[in-house]
Structure 1
Amino acid sequence: MPSENLDNLIAICGVYQNTTNLAEQLAYYGHMGFVIEPRADLAEGEILAESWFNARGVKRENLKQTVAMRLPHDPYMHIWFQSWDELSTDPVWPPVYNQTGCRGFTLLVADISKELGRISRDFKTVTLVQDQITVQRKWGPTHSALLRDPDGNFIELMTIDGSNSRAAQPVPHGEKGFLHFMLNCPSENFAETKRFYCSFGMEHDCGVDFKKDGRPDGDAYFQQQYIDGFGAWPIWGECSFLRGKRDPSYMHLELLEAREDLQVPGRSPPTWAQRGIARYCIKVPDFQEELQKSKQRGSKIYVETQRGK
């Protein structure tokens, strides 16, 4: 792991989710405690450059709206919901930018140029989709570049003026916080993909490893819950819960190796056993209370109670 880079990563900053119904998504996550982040909006009079759309292979007129949400006490992590006139529902890999579901995420860094130079030197399998651009947002000038990681996921590097010197606070005890999102990767690309994300200074958090007897109901029962809920339990390999050194929140990147074929994303509804980003995990103060709220809202429960330690 390059020591020169340990302090440049500030945090995992967001995931991008393309949705078929923006209003429903905002209401759903609002019920879970997320709030709209107006500071992420474009500044008054600002428009995205044509190069932003060209690099992503989409048309300006097809992007209807982008809304960012966050949990109130999370210092960095957001979900950016994007609504399109022409949302791609074709199951393809590598994914297209406006494919339904989550196709990419953002790392907040102190110096994008430093990252791009290092990545160009050390990772020949990483593609630069768009070089640095600057967008004026309500939270300040925002600089970003877009790449594809070694497995083809979109990964955005972002710098917000002033963010490097801002002191972030941990999530207070008893409040919700984003814990991780799961990134499923086939074995043939897993080692290089892990090396790529670890090169930002992220390391595996051993505190989330299962203990030797970590599944009190047994492995077979644990696996059957997923088979019942999603129709599949692929053969999994290594699981890395990666986190940066500077982010005081709960946030991790869960990178999971699949040793057999994963489903290609784009289908509706999505599935847990698909390539790329497959699910989010939120740390809540009272699991049973949140479960009952979900049932009262009429949310579909795929796996009701899964125990591990």
Structure 2
Amino acid sequence: MVIRTVLVSLTAALTLCACNAQKQNEQLEATASPLYTQVDDDPSWQTVKDSDALRPHHTNTTKGYKGSKVDVNNALVEVGPYANNPIIQDNLAIHTVGHASIRRDQFDRWTRWYQEDGNTQVFRLFKGEENLRNKRENAARIESFSTKDKWAPAQGVWREWAGRFTIIKSAGCALPHMCSIFQAKGNNVDHWSVMIRLDEHGNIWYVPRKEQPEIGNKKYIVAKNMNGKGFDVRVRDNGMDYEVFIDNKKVGYGQWERTEEIGFRWGIYVGRSEVTDDIMLFASGVTMH
């Protein structure tokens, strides 16, 4: 009886070891897998400009331009507390280099800059690209936003954005302006309260609208060397106060009073800087409430 018990225990232990070894191998294989694969290449910005896709220049156009296919490794990218949240379907729009508000039924015309795969949004800008929807210089962007999930400021009535960013390529996010990957933004250009920015080295920055030394608020790095890595973000805003959390850690807060309608924007916005190299960013499981 004792011998039989020992044999059974030994068999169970060997089975457990084999299962653990298999699980470890699977984890190593997943870690070694790429975050995405790309099918086909993308032409230069000059080629796109020379085509009819965005003509007439300096006006809004709905023609768009198709790009290479980005196949996201969803199992590797879509992890954490927001992994199972589907992409927002109703009222989602994108602000592109050629139009300020492209709706979902036209997304497939703009795949050079924006794609969706599983629960992940794919944002891309390419070297040399610039705003062509009006005459503002540089200002290249591909951002998404909800056309209806906006609100009037009301102190104490909090709205929240949450999701996971995965940084793929950041070389084009030149200092000092860098790339904004998130904005709590109103209709007026002066109405954003806080941004999260990405620099060319893959560092993530907390950027308040107004520095408030009395509460320690100023622009600073909150995560370093994030190329090829993901992180969770949560931002709360009520039109006066705001709070920013990275991987569930509060990294900044402040106040900026706004009088007009507010909403959230996320993706890639370069502002006054040039796009010095290609940029790619994933946003997974985004929610707003």
TM (norm. structure 2) is: 0.28
TM-score between the two structures when normalised by the length of structure 1:
0.27
**More helix by percentage:** 1
